[in-house]
């Protein structure tokens, strides 16, 4: 559902949403997959540190199963139908050995770019922090130098009616946001 924006904005920003009805029969092409990862690659980051590392599983393969097994029960119910599950992990130490305090912010920017590129290719994306990080760390064997940050489901939209109960309710609910006057604490033009 299109966002009720207070003024027109970029079409992708207005129409992007985080759906849960993924089409379990569809696979995404390698060229689309590489393109969304390339978009993630070109995100800005503090001191160009690029702390993000991507672990990609396609539905049916081993990595997909490993990532899926780390998700909370609610998320597993719908994310199992995604074409791709991506675990985004991060380095927490900079090249000079100092602690990287901004790694989560940087990873968020990288995933935001992946999301916009995916949406532009008629794919859908749903990010999740509802997963067991310790389980993901060991199941996907990401190594001790990285920490899990977020899991991203990517795929193709299916009919909302393929979901039931609270999943269906959320799929049909309008997208809502705080008003601009709340989030812009000072300096909002009248």
Ligand X SMILES: Cc1cc2nc3c(=O)[nH]c(=O)nc-3n(C[C@H](O)[C@H](O)[C@H](O)COP(=O)(O)O)c2cc1C
Q: Is there binding between residue 18 and ligand X (CB under 6 A)?
A: yes
Q: Is there binding between residue 127 and ligand X (CB under 6 A)?
A: yes
Q: Is there binding between residue 50 and ligand X (CB under 6 A)?
A: no
In the bound state with ligand X, the residue whose beta carbon lies nearer, of 17 and 80, is 17
Q: How far is CA 17 from the centre of its chain?
A: 11
For 58, the token pair is 């396609």
Residue 56 and residue 93 in contact, taking contact as beta carbons nearer than 8 Å: no
Among 21, 75, 137, 156, binds ligand X (CB under 6 A): 75
Least distance between ligand X and beta carbon 13 (Å): 10
Q: Is there binding between residue 150 and ligand X (CB under 6 A)?
A: yes
In the bound state with ligand X, the residue whose beta carbon lies nearer, of 63 and 153, is 153
CA distance 39 to 18: 19
CA distance 118 to 131: 22
Give residue number: closest CB to ligand X.
130
Least distance between ligand X and beta carbon 95 (Å): 26
Q: Is there binding between residue 124 and ligand X (CB under 6 A)?
A: no
Q: Is there binding between residue 17 and ligand X (CB under 6 A)?
A: yes
Choices 40-48, 91-99, 127-135, 155-163 (CB under 6 A): range interacting with ligand X: 127-135
CA distance 99 to 85: 28
Among 43, 130, 157, 162, binds ligand X (CB under 6 A): 130
Residue 92 and residue 100 in contact, taking contact as beta carbons nearer than 8 Å: yes
Tell which residue, 143, 183, 162, 129, has the closest CA to residue 53. Answer: 143
Tell which residue, 79, 32, 30, has the closest CA to residue 59. Answer: 79
């Amino acid at each position: 559902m299109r966002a009720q924006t207070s003024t027109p904005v970029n079409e992708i920003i207005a129409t992007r949403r985080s759906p849960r009805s993924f089409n379990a029969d569809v696979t995404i092409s390698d060229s689309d997959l590489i393109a969304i990862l390339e978009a993630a690659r070109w995100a800005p980051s503090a001191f160009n540190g690029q702390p993000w590392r991507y672990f990609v599983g396609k539905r049916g393969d081993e990595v997909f199963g490993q990532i899926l097994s780390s998700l909370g029960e609610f998320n597993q119910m719908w994310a199992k139908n995604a074409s791709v599950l991506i675990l985004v992990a991060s380095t927490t130490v900079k090249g000079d050995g100092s602690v990287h305090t901004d790694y989560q912010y940087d990873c968020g920017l990288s995933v935001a770019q992946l999301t916009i590129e995916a949406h532009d290719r008629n794919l859908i994306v749903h990010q999740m922090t509802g997963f067991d990080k310790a389980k993901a760390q060991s199941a996907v064997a990401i190594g001790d130098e990285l920490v899990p940050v977020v899991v991203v489901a990517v795929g193709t939209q299916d009919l909302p009616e393929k979901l039931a109960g609270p999943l269906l309710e959320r799929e049909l609910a309008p997208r809502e946001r705080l008003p601009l006057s709340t989030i812009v604490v000072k300096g909002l033009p009248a």
